[in-house]
Amino acid sequence: MSKELLSGAELVVRTLEYLKISTIFGVPGGAILPAYDPLYDSPVRHVLARHEQGAGHMAEGYAQATGELGVVIATSGPGATNLVTPLANALMDSTPLLAITGQVASTAIGNDAFQEAYTVGLTMAATKHNYLITDASEIPQIIQEAKYIATTGRPGPVLVDIPKDILNQKVEWIEPTHKDLPGYKPTLEPNPKMVQQAANLIKQSKKPLLYVGGGIIHSKSNNELFELATKHNIPVVTTLMGRGAFPDGHELCLEMPGMHGNYTATTAIQKSDLLIAIGVRFDDRVTANPDFFAQNAKVIHADIDPAEIGKVREPQVPIVGDAKSVLSGLIENLNGFNSDFSDWLEEIKTMQNKHPLSYNQEDSGPLKVPFVLQEIQKLTEDNAIVVSGVGQHQMWISQHWNFIEPNTWLNSGGLGTMGYALPAAIGAQAAYPDKQVLALDGDGCFQMTCQELITASTENIPIKIVVFNNGNHGMVRQWQKIFYKSRFSASELTHHTPDYVKLAESMGAVGLRITEKDEVIPTFEKMLSINDKPVLIDCVVDPDDLVFPMVPAGGSNDEIILNNEDLKKL
Amino acid sequence: MNERILSVLVEDKPGVLARVSSTISRRGFNINSLSVGPTNIDGRSKMTIVTELDTVEQVKKQLNKLVNVIKIVELDPDMTIETEVLLIKVSINKDTQTLVIEKAQLSNARSVDVGQDFAVFELTGSSKDLDKFEKLMKPFGIIEMVRGGRIALQTNQ
């Protein structure tokens, strides 16, 4: 009996089903068109985005919320170039992403054919790995390999480029196998001697501090982190990518350090004698000038990516391994150790009391974002997923929102991609239709990808959006105020700003507006009561508010600007 | 000597050289030389990368992240045989012909082609040997010159 022949396109869809992928995000087009035909009959849900960048961020939001692979599909040429931003974003934030792109026919490659772009070349520096498929029979194996690479080790984006003639080529299905990749062997288990050395340093320290980030969330090791920290009373700072890895509100949680981190988190690092850095990369937004960073501290640095260790700061104890195994090893090695860090915790408490986060909301004055955040959080479910854009609002959310669980805070940390919030929220809501998913965005960010509101309405994805409307690129304005003598060059959006309520309505969503203090709660309540379509609140806020604390780029974390008075002294 | 030599075993797949060179350039690493060629193992190529001391650790780690890079070995200079190839076209005339060829022979260069007004020599050796030979030929007039990347292997594993 002759075996069934399938087209490359059918193999793509069958492989997605084989890998149990339930939802993908994409935009069709010429070269990828063959793959859309079998998709028509497939149980795989396809969410039609309005722009490939949006589709990419949706897949990222899906992946960040679930901790599983996000999948995006696009056509050749502009379809692929529009994916470059989400790919670069996923690479920076270690988000597991699979991108499948159509390519012009293999016979036309290199001829400047219609909608041809050198996708593999263009995305080489924006992916963990990428492939150009040259024979349809390779499709199942390569897509499986791509998923394996994207989701293991330090996660990241992998792109598979498939020429149109290969999508039409008929071959037999060959079940993918777990083939050994000679050049790809992530180290998961840490060297036990290193873990032991780390434990010894912890025993000798007086002021230990856990400095943790996205690695905890990727390795799903928040429980181990909690056990280690609470068993031995070690305080924890969670970086922007690590918010939710340790519960806010816990007395050991100092929350976010760095450029806009709170005083205590940033200063605790400076005063610590031992940084236990796990799943973090000593990013410049955390360290400021690395020469002045944690000068009194020895460093234990554990990461699954060996290239992160020693990149910025040479550690006393380097550990390559998965955060979960590292933490379990530390717990084991510290068994029976009776810690007494009470002096250190006392010192921290004093800092917290002296310099709490603050904001000043006047009764009749313009609305401040931190105030609105405090108010709406009272009404929000504990496990709601909060998605943010990039800029002032992002920093305020990270500062003022209480993140209790991992994967509930989605943002673009490394690349700082404005426009991330709305599509990423759609992706998260597609994964969890019954959870509250809030996109808390800035107006500058919102205008970058707002067409995806149509996607949300059309696909019945009832996300809740708050656009903090200050009529400006707020963070740009803040820097111009501080560093460019208030010369607000090209940062104002007010002259041609849309009516966001009408815009939402025209795109099939509900539009609401908040301008006064007492409108916050009732309007937000109204938003939460609508669950059959997306709702947007245009929340008009103070354009002159500044995010504090602040450490200027390249400055020292010992010199934190806490408020307007500090600013005047500059 | 602040130079370090890396011997990089890679999968012989399309785009590997581009991946390696793109990683080096986007991370801002300095490299002095890069050469690539087949090995005795099917489907494997070897690259020899000469870089500077201060970046060698990061170069190694970043290249190791590439899926097609299998193994990176830093060669111990005391146990390493290193060689480079040079092709040089030198201008000659009746008066200089004998002298040029004689000097080339003394430097162990092989004469590949001799025309009426030019001679082409090939020389393999250390970078220093090649530099010396280039200097030696300069007074006669170098018409064209090309040097291959440096290749190296360790004598004792």
Instruction: Look at A129 and B67 and tell me if their CB atoms are within 8 Å.
Output: yes
One-letter amino acid of A196: Q
**Residue A1 pLDDT exceeds 60:** no
The pLDDT of residue B54 is 80
Instruction: Look at B15 and A120 and tell me if their CB atoms are within 8 Å.
Output: yes
Among partner residues B10, B18, B64, which is closest to A306 by beta-carbon distance? B64
| Angle of CA points A498, A503, A507, to nearest 5° | 155
Q: Contact A201/B84 with Cβ under 8 angstroms?
A: no
**A8-22, A365-379, B44-58, B61-75 — which is least confidently predicted?**
B44-58
Among partner residues B19, B23, B57, which is closest to A310 by beta-carbon distance? B57
What's the whole-number mean pLDDT along residues A84-95? 98
Instruction: Please report which confidence band the pLDDT of residue A446 belongs to, taking 50, 70 and 90 as the band edges.
Output: very high
What is the domain partition of chain A in residue ranges? 5-172, 192-354, 369-548
Q: How far apart are alpha carbons A412 and A395 in whole angstroms?
A: 11
For testing the chain B interface, which of A129, A147, A304 should be mutated: the one with the most B CBs within 10 Å? A129
Q: Write out the CATH class of domain A192-354.
A: alpha beta
**Long-range interactions of B140-143: CB distance < 8 A, separation 24+:** B140/B90, B140/B91, B140/B92, B140/B96, B140/B99, B140/B100, B141/B90, B141/B91, B142/B88, B142/B89, B142/B90, B142/B91, B143/B89, B143/B90, B143/B91, B143/B118
The pLDDT of residue B1 is 58
pLDDT above 90 covers what percent of chain A? 97
DSSP for A270-298? HH-SEEEEES----HHHHSSGGGTTTT-E
pLDDT above 70 covers what percent of chain A? 100
Q: Contact A511/A482 with Cβ under 8 angstroms?
A: no
What's the whole-number mean pLDDT along residues A80-102? 98
Catalytic annotation on A114?
A: yes
Strands B118-125 and B80-91 turn out to be antiparallel
DSSP for A412-424? --SS--TT-HHHH
**Residue A223 pLDDT exceeds 60:** yes
Q: How far apart are alpha carbons A7 and A21 in whole angstroms?
A: 20
The pLDDT of residue B11 is 96
Instruction: Please report which confidence band the pLDDT of residue A154 belongs to, taking 50, 70 and 90 as the band edges.
Output: very high
Domains of chain B from N-terminus onward: 3-74 (3.30.70.260), 81-154 (3.30.70.1150)
Average per-residue pLDDT for chain A: 97
**Residue A425 pLDDT exceeds 70:** yes
Catalytic annotation on A324?
A: no
What CATH number labels A369-548?
A: 3.40.50.970
Helix/strand/coil for A134: coil
Q: How far apart are alpha carbons A413 and A404 in whole angstroms?
A: 19
Among partner residues A181, A306, A310, which is closest to B67 by beta-carbon distance? A181
Question: By CA distance, what is B68's nearest residue in A?
Answer: A183
The pLDDT of residue B2 is 80
Catalytic annotation on A145?
A: no
DSSP for B31-46? EEEEEEEE-SSTTEEE
Catalytic annotation on A164?
A: yes
Q: How far apart are alpha carbons A407 and A389 in whole angstroms?
A: 16
Which residue of the set A115, A196, A316, A451 is catalytic?
Answer: A115
Which residue of the set A58, A256, A418, A475 is catalytic?
Answer: A475
Among partner residues A129, A182, A306, which is closest to B61 by beta-carbon distance? A306
Distances (CA, A) of A396 to A304, A340, A408, A442, A517: 30, 34, 16, 11, 18
**Residue A29 pLDDT exceeds 70:** yes
Q: How far apart are alpha carbons A268 and A293 in whole angstroms?
A: 11
**A50-59, A512-521, B75-84, B86-95 — which is least confidently predicted?**
B75-84
Residues in A touching B61 (Cβ below 8 Å): 306-307, 311
**Helix, strand, coil shares of chain B as percentages rounded to 5?**
30, 45, 25
Catalytic annotation on A124?
A: no
B79-93: pLDDT as tens digits: 999 999 999 999 999
Instruction: Look at B67 and A306 and tell me if their CB atoms are within 8 Å.
Output: no
Instruction: Look at B70 and A182 and tell me if their CB atoms are within 8 Å.
Output: yes
List, as ranges, residues 133-152 from A with C-beta within 8 Å of B: 149
Distance from CA of A124 to the nearest CA of B (A): 7
What's the whole-number mean pLDDT along residues A413-438? 98
Question: Tell me: domain A5-172, CATH 3.40.50.970, correct?
Answer: yes
Q: How far apart are alpha carbons B36 and A391 in whole angstroms?
A: 45
List, as ranges, residues 85-144 from B with C-beta within 8 Å of A: none
Instruction: Look at A181 and B15 and tell me if their CB atoms are within 8 Å.
Output: no
Burial class, A284, CB count within 10 angstroms (exposed 0-12 / middle 13-18 / buried 19+): middle
Helix/strand/coil for A476: helix
B100-120: pLDDT as tens digits: 999 999 999 999 999 999 999
The pLDDT of residue B55 is 80
Instruction: Please report which confidence band the pLDDT of residue A455 belongs to, taking 50, 70 and 90 as the band edges.
Output: very high
The pLDDT of residue B157 is 58
B27 close to A (CB below 8 A): no
